[in-house]
Amino acid sequence: MANFTIQRAASAHIPTAFGDFQLVLYTNNRDTKEHLALVMGEVAGKSNVLTRIHSECFTGDVLGSLRCDCGEQLRRAMQAIADAGAGIVVYMRQEGRGIGLRDKLYAYNLQDAGYDTVEANELLGHDADERDYTIAALILQQLGAQSVRLMTNNPSKINALRALGIRVTERVPLQPTVHPYNRDYLDTKARRMKHWLELPVLENAVTGNGHHGKRNGNGHR
């Protein structure tokens, strides 16, 4: 991480439906994106801080899209932190597993044509997951968390953070609500990306445009 630097640029008190947080905005020397940390309580110098590294998902986080579980994961993470009284959500501007919103929409159309999330990304010239967690690790270090309990279903995220020097002492599952609109997307994450998910059997799946189909979805957790 020697070539990466971040700077705490601004912060403000943010009351939410889950409780009061401090929203901290960071700039960096790698990109022009404004990555964020949503912090509740005292985390500096603390061990086992309940933490979520959440990659931006405009469709799920803002619009409430049912094609993925991203918005649900964000809300559940904020609620869990509120219940614990302290914790961190690092909000990374890495839309669509790093491919950006435009290509994510293109990927949706490919998924509606029958490709899964991995195949759609690859057809667009991307890797299955192009996210980088270096800035997230730097933010956790800047906030002073000594170790974290990470809310995730993604083993690659844990491995990446540990490789960057972050002590992950426990994985806290975020089991999604499974329904026909996201079932095939979640199946792809479990089957092809090795996410830890417990998926019930649903008789039918539907595509994002409301028609019955084989595959759908393009969240990124």
Q: What CATH number did the domain enclosing 19 receive?
A: 3.40.50.10990
* Structural domain includes residue 117: yes
* Structural domain includes residue 47: yes
- Identify the segments of the chain with pLDDT beneath 50: 205-221
* Structural domain includes residue 221: no
b or e along 79-108 (b: 16 or more beta carbons within 10 Å of the residue's beta carbon)? ebbbeeeebbbbbbebbbbbbeeebbebbb
Please give the residue range of the domain that contains residue 130: 6-192
The per-residue pLDDT for 1 is 67
Residue whose pair of structure tokens reads 């991995």 in the numeric block:
118
The per-residue pLDDT for 209 is 39
Q: Among 58, 19, 54, which residue's Cα sits nearest to residue 37?
A: 54
* Structural domain includes residue 203: no
Does the CA dihedral 142-146-152-157 come out positive or negative?
positive
* Structural domain includes residue 212: no
* Structural domain includes residue 141: yes
Q: Which helix (H) or strand (E) holds 135?
A: helix 134-143
Domain count, the chain: 1
* Structural domain includes residue 152: yes
* Structural domain includes residue 51: yes
The per-residue pLDDT for 75 is 97
Active site residues: 129, 131
The per-residue pLDDT for 217 is 43
The pair of structure tokens assigned to 164 is: 């960057």
The per-residue pLDDT for 195 is 84
d(CA 117, CA 126): 11
Which amino acid makes up residue 116?
D
CA distances for 169 relative to 151, 162, 172, 213, angstroms: 11, 10, 10, 40
Cβ–Cβ < 8 Å for 54, 65: no
The per-residue pLDDT for 201 is 61
pTM for the structure as a whole: 0.86
